[in-house]
Amino acid sequence: MKFLPALNRLDWFVLTLLAIMILGIFVPLPSPAVDFFATVSHWAIVVLFFVYGAKLNSEEVIGGLKNLRLQVAILLSTFVIYPLLGLLNHALIGRLLGAGFALGMFYTTLLPSTVQSSIGFTSIARGNVPGAVTAATVSNLLGTFLTPLLVMLFLQKGTTISLTTLRDIALLILLPFVLGQLSGRWTRSWLRTHPIVTKIVDKGTIYLVVISAVSSAKLQGLWDTVSPRDFLVIGLDAVVIVGIMLIFTWFVFGSLFKMPRADRIALLMCGSKKSLATGLPMALIIFPANQVGHIMVPIMLLHLLQLLMCSLLATKLSRRP
């Protein structure tokens, strides 16, 4: 099959994430181990965003910002259209998902875009890679403030948004990124010639955060209340949401903003995704501990399904002249 080369980039990551979630549901970890993974994952997140900042060339971002139509379209897709779709989805099938998972799915639609996969799929599909780099970076930087504000606007009940929350998110995500940028003159060249470091930090951090969240949910007895039907409904809902955003970004915004093909590909890949790497750490700060398990499941399933769907699209687009 012609789409397998693209899927090969995802197979092990997708399968191991699913394996971690399944094992976490059935195999409990002792409380000290859960605390250990929580601490390690916290510092792994700090390292991850330091590496993101260190690797990024600010000149590339400035160059990408000159393409104002593309950047505005991606930001509108990420922080306006996606949240409105989440609001509509919550109103239509919130009861079907259940209160906890419906909250998690709504929260997922408020997150910034992904970084690595947005850029990677844009490259595979032969789109505007510098534009995707800029969009993914700007989305995550703005998301450190916009996502909590959107949560406060739409999901006030059961959340703890405050200046302290914003400070904690900034210290966890924004500050390491800025420090990475400042260190770039010494670290950027080395990171770019050793891309395996970024991959290990990126995927390793997600593994640690998922292990921590799944194990904590097991310790609190959350998984005893979740059925296979819940996973099926959440998965189908995620496919519909991502599918709508893929159609909207390509056909509606792509035409409305009169974009050339390369820009439209960047819009498709950046504007249709939500970040697991940013979403889970922020959820740990924003929501009470007994809600994080419900929040985590929709984020993970939507993340995995968007990777699979965009992988197929990127391969198909790469074959067109």
Say if residue 296's pLDDT is above 80: yes
User: Which carries the bigger pLDDT value, residue 304 or residue 317?
Assistant: 317
pLDDT of residue 206: 77
More confident residue, 103 or 172: 103
What is the C-alpha to C-alpha distance for residues 56 and 146, in angstroms, rounded to an integer? Answer: 22
CA distance 114 to 109: 12
Q: Using an 8 Å Cβ cutoff, are 300 and 210 in contact?
A: yes
Residue 40 and residue 45: Cα distance in Å, rounded? 9
pLDDT per position as a tens digit, 33-86: 888 988 998 898 888 889 888 887 877 777 778 899 999 999 999 999 999 999
| DSSP label at residue 66 | T
Instruction: Please tell me which residue, 255 or 307, carries the higher pLDDT value.
Output: 255
The helix/strand/coil state of 269 is helix
**Domain 4-318 fold:** Na+/H+ antiporter like fold (1.20.1530)
Is residue 71 within 8 Å of 65, Cβ to Cβ? yes
d(CA 271, CA 275): 11
CA distances (Å), 192 to each of 52, 186, 200, in order? 11, 12, 14
SS3 category, 155: coil
Q: Name the average pLDDT for the chain.
A: 85
Q: What is the percent of the chain with per-residue pLDDT over 70, rounded to a whole number?
A: 93
Query: What is the Cα–Cα distance from 261 to 69, expressed in whole angstroms?
Result: 13
How do residues 222-254 score in pLDDT, each as one tens digit? 777 778 888 899 999 999 999 999 999 999 999
Do 137 and 154 form a contact (C-beta atoms < 8 A)? no
Say if residues 289 and 216 touch (Cβ distance below 8 Å): yes
Confidence (pLDDT) at 255? 92
Q: Between residues 169 and 107, which one has the greater pLDDT? A: 107
Q: What is the pLDDT of residue 161?
A: 65
Which pLDDT does position 139 carry in this prediction?
94
3-class DSSP state of 162: coil
Between 159 and 233, where is the model more confident?
Answer: 233
